């Protein structure tokens, strides 16, 4: 049996360098690779291009890398609740490529599947389509979008096994699965790491073929971005 396990986050992120392009899974503050991000902050890699749906908040998630000025360019679909992201974008300190959310997901999935590009109607006739090839299909106009090219994908799963098979939970399934196998190296951190064969094959969301390194994560904070509670009478 092939084993993809590494001892810790330090070993998992071996080879991460300045100027690289990283994919980071998650949606809002759900399912983000907290351990990988914390280690990127610790080792101080800079001039990064980060591909993620959003950029966390000021003091959590990718907001930690933004605070340290480690990110040169953000490719995302949503500014969200991150005031520092907004400030750096408006001041010109941070290069930002805003991408329609479905297009961002498909650019990940295309890279995962080995497709160099695809056509989408999203963004036609807007700034999103400037400088890109367009083409008509069945009377409707489409924009040619290229698949992402990234050095590392960092994803976070609920459970995983030593062979790299992954199970995600809830909203964490939005972008994490599409980013697996979409970069040169996919690193998965999991809440629970089990021996190969322990996971129900029918429940696996991503097979281990898409994962190069997997490790047991720890100390997950699991923040809630917008807490809504029912008012009692």
Residue 1, pLDDT above cutoff 80: no
**Residues in CB range of 228: below 8 A, 6 or more apart:** none
Q: Tell me which residue of 227, 229, 225 sits closest to 78, measured CA to CA.
A: 225
pLDDT band for 190, please (50, 70, 90 cuts): very high
Dig out the tokens for 174 from the structure: 């939005």
Residue 109, pLDDT above cutoff 90: yes
pLDDT at residue 72, rounded to an integer: 97
C-alpha–C-alpha distance, residues 171 and 205, integer Å: 13
Residue 224, pLDDT above cutoff 80: no
CA 110 distance to own-chain centroid: 14
* Bridge-based pairing state of the strands 166-167 and 152-161: antiparallel
pLDDT at residue 226, rounded to an integer: 76
pLDDT band for 78, please (50, 70, 90 cuts): confident
pTM over 0.85: yes
Question: Where along the chain do its domains lie?
Answer: 9-113+149-216
**What does the pLDDT look like over 54-69, one tens digit per residue?**
888 888 889 999 999 9
Q: Say which DSSP state 84 is in.
A: H
**What does the pLDDT look like over 9-43, one tens digit per residue?**
999 999 999 999 999 999 888 899 999 999 999 99
pLDDT at residue 184, rounded to an integer: 97
CATH superfamily of this structure's domain 9-113+149-216: Glutaconate Coenzyme A-transferase (3.40.1080.10)
Residue 231, pLDDT above cutoff 90: no
**What does the pLDDT look like over 156-185, one tens digit per residue?**
999 999 999 999 999 899 999 999 999 999
The mean pLDDT of the chain is 94
pLDDT band for 233, please (50, 70, 90 cuts): low
**Residues in CB range of 149: below 8 A, 6 or more apart:** 21, 111
């Amino acid at each position: 049996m092939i084993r993809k396990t590494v001892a810790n986050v330090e070993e998992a992120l071996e080879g991460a360098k300045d100027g690289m392009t990283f994919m980071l899974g998650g949606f809002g503050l759900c399912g983000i690779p907290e351990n990988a991000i914390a280690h990127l902050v610790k080792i101080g890699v800079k001039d990064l291009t980060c591909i993620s749906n959003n950029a966390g908040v000021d003091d959590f998630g990718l907001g930690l890398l933004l605070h340290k000025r480690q990110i040169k360019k953000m490719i995302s679909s949503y500014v969200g609740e991150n005031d520092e992201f907004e400030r750096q974008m408006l001041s010109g300190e941070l290069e930002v490529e805003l991408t329609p959310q479905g297009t961002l997901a498909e650019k990940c999935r295309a890279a995962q599947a080995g497709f160099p590009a695809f056509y989408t109607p999203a963004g036609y006739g807007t700034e999103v389509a400037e400088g890109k090839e367009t083409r008509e299909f069945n009377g409707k106009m489409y924009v040619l979008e290229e698949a992402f090219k990234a050095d590392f994908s960092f994803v976070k799963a609920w459970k995983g096994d030593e062979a790299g098979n992954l199970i995600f939970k809830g909203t964490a399934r939005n972008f994490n699965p599409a980013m697996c196998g979409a970069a040169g190296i996919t690193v998965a951190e999991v809440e629970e790491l089990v021996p190969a064969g322990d996971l129900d094959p029918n429940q696996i969301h991503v097979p281990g073929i898409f994962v190069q390194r997997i490790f047991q994560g720890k100390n997950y904070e699991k923040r809630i971005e917008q807490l809504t509670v029912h008012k009692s009478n």
